[in-house]
Amino acid sequence: MTTMPNWLKQRAFLTPERTAISDGKRTKTFAELYEAAASWARRLAGAGVKEGDIVAVLMKNSVEMMEIVHALFFLGARALLQNVRLTPYELCWQLDDSGARVVIADDDLAGRFGGDGRVITVSALAAFAEADVLLKETCHLDETATIMYTSGTTGTPKGVLQTYGNHWWSAVGSALNLGLHERDCWLAAVPLFHISGLSIAMRSVIYGMPMQLQTSFDAKAANALIMDGKVTVMSVVAAMLQRMVSELGAARYPDTFRCMLLGGGPAPQPLLEACKKKGIPVYQTYGMTETASQIVTLAPEYSLTKLGSAGKPLFPAELRIMRDGQPAAPYEAGEIVVKGPNVTKGYLHRPEATEQAIRDGWFYTGDIGYVDEEGFLYVLDRRSDLIISGGENVYPAEIEAVLLAHPAVEEAGVTGVEDETWGQVPYAFVKLKQGAAADEDELKQFCRRRLATYKVPARMYFVPALPRNAAQKLLRRELKTLIPEAEQRAPRR
Amino acid sequence: MTTMPNWLKQRAFLTPERTAISDGKRTKTFAELYEAAASWARRLAGAGVKEGDIVAVLMKNSVEMMEIVHALFFLGARALLQNVRLTPYELCWQLDDSGARVVIADDDLAGRFGGDGRVITVSALAAFAEADVLLKETCHLDETATIMYTSGTTGTPKGVLQTYGNHWWSAVGSALNLGLHERDCWLAAVPLFHISGLSIAMRSVIYGMPMQLQTSFDAKAANALIMDGKVTVMSVVAAMLQRMVSELGAARYPDTFRCMLLGGGPAPQPLLEACKKKGIPVYQTYGMTETASQIVTLAPEYSLTKLGSAGKPLFPAELRIMRDGQPAAPYEAGEIVVKGPNVTKGYLHRPEATEQAIRDGWFYTGDIGYVDEEGFLYVLDRRSDLIISGGENVYPAEIEAVLLAHPAVEEAGVTGVEDETWGQVPYAFVKLKQGAAADEDELKQFCRRRLATYKVPARMYFVPALPRNAAQKLLRRELKTLIPEAEQRAPRR
């Protein structure tokens, strides 16, 4: 089967009166969400959007954002979801790389594109006349629904292609693992432009389940929704969970709350233990943009006995640890390799990177981990050099490339350093060119114009040389040894 | 995606310690079920079963039966599931038609095949040595997993091909509609050789959910399992539900029981109303062998307001009412036509019947119904002439063909008559050849040798002529007018 009914249309037909989405200000049923999305689709067609077009979306979490994403599905356009924390430089780079034809941006974000003629604000779009266009009533599972940029070891961001099938199987695999209750309501306090948020929106239409949106994460409000029994499942990263646990104080969640899905990198053991004590049902999970969210999740019955493990693959997926081209033995660390219908078919306009990442149907994540004798995954390191800061992926190579573009910089190395609030923050180590001069402030300022704030190095050290191996490959993990000892004990941002 | 991990192997890997199946005598976890099935697979290989073979299975509901079906999946063989109520004549006809290479039969049923050399009893199979064979670790969704014979308007039974994909999508579609709870346990008191029972077994491995088996339906025991909170979902036909409601008396089911899935033909309104009064959560459903069980089911929120409706399609499926080659308007009766990944790809060795039934990807059910203005399906008549007796499909044409084979019979017509216990029973109307003689007992005896007991006409009338239209087509619905008036008021079996 490669085609199925358009999800929102089918859901609006099957259960029109159920609540689909609420952002606190507005609540819409599936019938209302469908009508609104269909109307946006006709306006987008009026603005010239056609089947197959890539349309960038730069919006904060809102009911409108989901309406516009579904509207793009109705037209057969591909939604390029952009991170609102990126700089104009990064955003425009994605437009050029993808060949996006149109950009839909929140009114207050449109300025980021510096007057690019492709940009239409949400207000402007609302003023377009509705064109007479046939909305697609089916979706092809092999077709690209969404695109999200992610960097990697090379430092060049790549557009991850997410098909309808990837989203569908991700939602089904999650339901088979976490179950599906009539009264479920999933809180999306993570961004919809990340797969962690978007996957909640996909589950909402596929399951016929309400989703509750937060425009930006609010620990107190999230706790209140859980305490009131309005939210039964929530997706978080460790930094969010930490704040919710602190805010919760001595209180305990009610039984209606059944799943705290914890992703975005390894979680600190003390946090997991605190949750265990409070009876918070934490489900550790492992996934990435390329796997359309979770691919490995700890099943309910192991949430306590296998604390710290990311679990086992979802039902339709498979997992291997590879070491020197061979499957590794239990407890032997190696590269985490995954397979399944939720795994991307590749990167936009990057056949070589795709071939390198997907071999024999297996996706090589670049992450390091091991499995125990029962097959439970333990993630040791994300993508060798990946830094996860407050749930956002930060790629050292991307920051290094920016630093190297500064006329005074000869060599640059970036690594992640533990941080109580953000999990990790990037630190930079710079060797200046002979005779050149630049200070920390100047280089940070240089980075700020080109990199989202969370990517700008928290600290910058000037060193006479960077650690390299015999092949002159930068040894990023040894960078930390260059930090003065006092600093290692008391990191600051 | 066309391949996925073998379901039982994956389930045994993911949740080995969960209960998989219990028949009251034995209980097995998924790990134990896997080990047992793998062992049977090696014995079946020892008995000569190879990939692609059709292997008939004539067994009553038992843990072993499911082990053997999974064992056949491990070998890539196709399981032909035979109805234990069929006569030797009917069973052997299926073997010849399908080209089955081997038959696995319960010890006490093996005699039905009259010494056919292909038959291996379960005891004999257990004594085979385990062959050294590679078990299949994946399944292809397009490949045939099981075959079930069903008749139809032509009277010739046809083998319905059920792929792994049909079973998979059926299970997923059902979960998206009925939900999936951690403590779910589904009672299979319907036969595993019918799709209503087999689909429970497929859901069990796909969901990681225990199934409780009854070898034959026991209303009292079923009620006890529900009252004890051990069973949360059950599949029934109207006759079974009627007995359970009577047996229940003034008692009420606990809240743990969340779904009584009622299929197998239209349900009597008084029964539905009795269930409504007792708070029994009845979910009416419509499906058939060709749709791998449910394809239309009433969603929870409409179970009371749309009483009598079979509901709307499952999420991945679609429904149309066709009349004179055009989609019918709401409330206009026509043929029920369905589409979806759970629908069969066709009939074994019957390209013409397949082409006739499946047109442009839509399956023409032959059943008559209408939809209301919201799209809820109301089934008026199953397959024009289909009789549903105690949940078993009875095809008039099949019985007529047997009667016509009797030397004294010139014409024969069969129709269903309402029956309090069985819902419907078949009545036959016979015109004898001029000068020929035969009485009711003789013809019934003739039928009994060739037809399962539930297909043997409950009454037989000798008439001078059968009602036919201008084209001489038998008008089966008018047959009832030939029943003497007194008989119409007091049918007997």
Render pLDDT for A153-210 as a digit per residue (tens, 0 to 9): 566 789 999 999 999 999 999 999 999 999 999 999 999 999 999 999 999 999 999 9
Q: What is the pLDDT of residue A105?
A: 98
Find, in chain A, the residue whose alpha carbon is nearest to that of B14.
A312
Q: What is the pLDDT of residue A305?
A: 82
**What's the first-to-final CA gap in chain B, in angstroms?**
51
Q: How far is CA B144 from CA A218, B54, B167, B169, B347, in A?
A: 51, 10, 10, 14, 11
B391-430 residues touching A, CB cutoff 8 A: none
CB B106 within 8 A of CB B60: yes
**Shortest alpha-carbon distance between residue A179 and chain B (Å):** 5
Neighbour tally for B195: CB within 10 Å: 29
Q: What is the pLDDT of residue A493?
A: 41
Option in B1, B17, B180 nearest A341 (CB): B1
Q: Is A485's pLDDT higher than 80?
A: no
**What's the first-to-final CA gap in chain A, in angstroms?**
51
Map residue B183 onto helix, strand or coil.
Answer: coil
Q: What kind and span of H or E run contains B450?
A: helix B440-450
The answer to whether A78 contacts chain B (CB < 8 Å) is: no
Mutation target among B172, B206, B291 for the A interface, most CBs of A within 10 A: B172
Report CB contact under 8 Å: A313, B165.
no
Mutation target among A8, A167, A176, A345 for the B interface, most CBs of B within 10 A: A176
Q: Which residues pair with A180 in a beta bridge?
A: B180
Chain A residues with beta carbon closer than 8 angstroms to that of B363: none
Q: What is the DSSP letter of B429?
A: E
Q: How far is CA A209 from CA A28, A212, B56, in A?
A: 12, 10, 42
> Which regions of B193-242 does DSSP assign to beta strands (E)?
211-213, 233-237
Torsion over CA of A173, B361, B372 and A32, rounded to 10 degrees? 50
How far apart CA A154 and CA A366 sit, in angstroms, is 12
Residues in chain A: 493
Chain B residues with beta carbon closer than 8 angstroms to that of A207: 176
Neighbour tally for A279: CB within 10 Å: 10
pTM here is 0.87
How far apart CA B264 and CA A337 sit, in angstroms, is 46
Chain B residues with beta carbon closer than 8 angstroms to that of A341: 1, 4
How far apart CA A357 and CA A363 sit, in angstroms, is 6
CB A278 within 8 A of CB A291: no
Mutation target among B315, B362, B363, B376 for the A interface, most CBs of A within 10 A: B315
Report CB contact under 8 Å: A181, B176.
no
**Shortest alpha-carbon distance between residue B68 and chain A (Å):** 22
Those residues whose C-beta lies under 8 Å from the C-beta of residue B96, and which sit 6 or more positions away, are none
Report CB contact under 8 Å: A1, B172.
no
Q: Is A269's pLDDT higher than 80?
A: no
SS in 3 state form for chain A?
CCEEECHHHHHHHHCCCCEEEECCCCEEEHHHHHHHHHHHHHHHHHCCCCCCCEEEEECCCCHHHHHHHHHHHHHCCEEEECCCCCCHHHHHHHHHHHCCCEEEECCCCHHHHCCCCCEEEHHHHHHCCCCCCCCCCEEECCCEEEEEEECCCCCCCEEEEEEHHHHHHHHHHHHHHHCECCCCCEEECCCCCCHHHHHHHHHHHHHCCCEEECCCCCHHHHHHHHHCCCCCEEEEEHHHHHHHHHHHCCCCCCCCCCEEEEECCCCCHHHHHHHHHHCCCEEEEEEEHHHCEEEEECCHHHCCCCCCCCEEECCCCEEEEEECCEECCCCCCEEEEEECCCCCCCECCCHHHHHHHEECCEEEEEEEEEECCCCCEEEEECCCCCEEECCEEECHHHHHHHHHCCCCEEEEEEEEEEECCCEEEEEEEEEECCCCCCCHHHHHHHHHHHCCHHHCCCEEEECCCCCECCCCCECHHHHHHHCCHHHHHCCCC
**Shortest alpha-carbon distance between residue B174 and chain A (Å):** 11
Confidence of residue A404 (pLDDT cuts 50, 70, 90): confident
**Shortest alpha-carbon distance between residue A384 and chain B (Å):** 27
The answer to whether B165 contacts chain A (CB < 8 Å) is: yes
Option in B10, B169, B375 nearest A315 (CB): B10
Name the stretches of chain B with pLDDT < 70. Answer: 1, 152-155, 266, 300-301, 303, 381-384, 469-473, 485-493
Report CB contact under 8 Å: B375, A13.
yes
Q: Tokens 């030397």 map to which residue?
A: B407
The residue type of B400 is: E
B81-100 residues touching A, CB cutoff 8 A: none
Report CB contact under 8 Å: B4, A172.
no
Chain B residues with beta carbon closer than 8 angstroms to that of A299: 14-15
CB B453 within 8 A of CB B464: no
The strand pair at A78-81 and A144-150 is best described as parallel
The answer to whether B300 contacts chain A (CB < 8 Å) is: yes
Report CB contact under 8 Å: B4, A181.
no
The residue type of B159 is: G
The size of the A-B interface in CB pairs under 8 A is: 72
CB B284 within 8 A of CB B191: no
How far apart CA A349 and CA A334 sit, in angstroms, is 29
**Shortest alpha-carbon distance between residue A341 and chain B (Å):** 6
Choose the weakest-confidence range: A217-221, A393-397, B416-420. Answer: A393-397
Option in A14, A299, A312 nearest B312 (CB): A14
Option in B1, B208, B300 nearest A182 (CB): B300
Residue B104 tokens, joined: 């696995």
Report CB contact under 8 Å: B176, A206.
yes
Choose the weakest-confidence range: A123-132, A293-302, B208-217, B371-380. Answer: A293-302
Chain A residues with beta carbon closer than 8 angstroms to that of B172: 172
The residue type of A383 is: R
The answer to whether B31 contacts chain A (CB < 8 Å) is: no
A199-218 residues touching B, CB cutoff 8 A: 206-208
Percent of chain A's residues with pLDDT above 90: 71
Is the ipTM of this structure higher than 0.90? no
What's CA B63's distance to the chain center, in Å?
19
Report CB contact under 8 Å: B11, A301.
no
Q: What is the pLDDT of residue A371?
A: 97
Tens digits of per-residue pLDDT, B4-31? 999 999 999 999 999 999 998 899 999 9
Q: What is the pLDDT of residue B400?
A: 87
Q: Is A114's pLDDT higher than 80?
A: yes
Largest CA distance in chain A: 71
**Shortest alpha-carbon distance between residue B314 and chain A (Å):** 8
Q: What kind and span of H or E run contains B170?
A: helix B164-178
Option in B10, B175, B299 nearest A175 (CB): B175
Confidence of residue A95 (pLDDT cuts 50, 70, 90): very high
Find, in chain B, the residue whose alpha carbon is nearest to that of A341.
B1
Chain A residues with beta carbon closer than 8 angstroms to that of B181: 179, 181
Confidence of residue A491 (pLDDT cuts 50, 70, 90): very low
Q: What is the pLDDT of residue B492?
A: 45
